Structure 1
C-alpha cells in the first residue's frame, strides 16, 4: 500500500505536516479530502502553497474513493488527510478502504467540544464518527507529532465518556 499516513488534522497542510510528518513518513504527494475544503477556492490555494514542492490533490468525499484507490495502487507514496473524522467516517460508510490506521492530530477547541488533552477537543459528532471508524476495524491513534506517544481511541473515549 502506498498511503504512508492517513490523518485527521484540523489545519490540514501546515508547517508540522511538511517538516515533521512528511520526513517521518516520506511522501510524494498529498491527498486532501473534505467537501468544505474542496469547495473553498481560497483554502485550496493556501493548502497547495503550503505543500511546497509536493503535488496536492483536493477532493470531495464523492470523488475521494476513486482517487484513494489510485493512490493505493500507485508506485508513489501519499499522505491522506482531512480536517475532520466525519470525513473518514463517510469514506468508511461509502466502502472506501484507506487502510487500517487513522492518525489523529490537532482537533482544536470549537463550540460544543470537550477538551480531552493537548490539541484534542471532540464534540458528539466527532465521537460518533470515531465510533463508526473503530467499529470498522480501523485503529485510531491520537498523536500530535511523530515522536509523541500514541493514545488509543479507547483511552480518549473513556475520557470523553467520563466528562458527560
Structure 2
C-alpha cells in the first residue's frame, strides 16, 4: 500500500529517511526520477540515506506505472518520492486514489516569478498551475518537513498566492 506521496527537490535525505519511514513503518521507498535512474553515484548516495531495513527502488517516470499499481494492492508499506510538481502530477494520474500529497522541500530561487509559501517551498508559475489542478481534484496539498510538524495546507484561492 502506498502510505505517502512526497515532492522533495532533495529526494531522499536523512530527515526524510528516518522520520517518515519510522512514522509510516515504510518497507520500500520508490524514487521516481529520470535522471537518478541512470546516475550510479547518485543512487549510491541516496542508498546511504535510507534506513537499513528499507528497500530503495528507482524508476523512470515513463516506466513506473506497473510498480505503482502493484504497490497499491500489496502489503508492503511504500513511500513514493518525486522531485517536482510535474512528476507528481504524472504519478497522481496513475494513482488517482491518492488524496493527499506531502511537500517537503521545493526551493526555487525566489524572484518576481515565484511565490514563497514558506522558506522551504517556493513555487514557480507552472508549479502553481499544477497545484491548482490537483486542488481542483480534491487533493490535499500539505507542507511538512517531518511528521511531527503541524501541516501547512496549500490553499491557492487565497489572494496571497495568486499570480
> TM-score, normalising length from structure 1?
0.86
Counterpart for residue 80 of structure 2: 80
Q: After the TM superposition, which residues 5-154 of structure 1 pair with which residues of structure 2 at under 5 Å, given as runs?
A: 5-53=4-52, 54-93=54-93, 95-97=94-96, 99-110=98-109, 112=111, 113-154=114-155
Structure 1 position 151, deviation (Å): 1.6
Structure 1 position 36, deviation (Å): 2.9
**SS of corresponding position for 1:67:** helix
**SS of corresponding position for 1:154:** coil
Structure 1 position 81, deviation (Å): 0.7
For 2:157 and 2:136, the matched residues in 1 are separated by 15
RMSD: 2.1
5+ residue gaps, structure 1, are none
Structure 1 position 111, deviation (Å): 6.1
For 1:120 and 1:156, the matched residues in 2 are separated by 17
5+ residue gaps, structure 2, are none
Q: Contact between 2:34 and 2:61, CA under 8 Å: does it hold in 1?
A: yes
